């Protein structure tokens, strides 16, 4: 696949997830919001763990 096709495919996947979320949120607002909130918390945790590991690696490096 070319870069353009990959770019289009990526945006289609993003659009599909947005539409899926809002269609689900319209039917069950609380469940949709909880799902979205859970995903945000998971991504925050991953970022926190990444930063913590990076700092640990920087502190353990000996030059």
Query: Is 39 in contact with 25 (CB distance < 8 Å)?
Result: no
Q: Report the domain count for the chain.
A: 1
Query: How far is residue 21's CA from residue 15's CA, in Å, rounded to a whole number?
Result: 10
* pLDDT (0 to 100) of residue 21: 78
Tell me the mean pLDDT per 10 residues along the chain, length 63: 82 83 66 74 74 75 58
Query: How far is residue 62's CA from residue 48's CA, in Å, rounded to a whole number?
Result: 24
* pLDDT (0 to 100) of residue 46: 73
Query: Is 9 in contact with 1 (CB distance < 8 Å)?
Result: yes
- Can you give the residue range of the structural domain that contains 27? 3-60
pTM of the model: 0.38
């Amino acid at each position: 696949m070319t870069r353009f096709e990959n770019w289009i495919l990526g945006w289609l996947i993003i659009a599909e997830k947005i539409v899926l979320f809002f269609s689900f949120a319209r039917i069950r607002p609380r469940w949709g919001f909880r799902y979205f909130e859970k995903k945000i918390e998971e991504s925050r945790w991953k970022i926190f763990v990444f930063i913590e590991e990076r700092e640990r690696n920087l502190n353990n490096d000996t030059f």
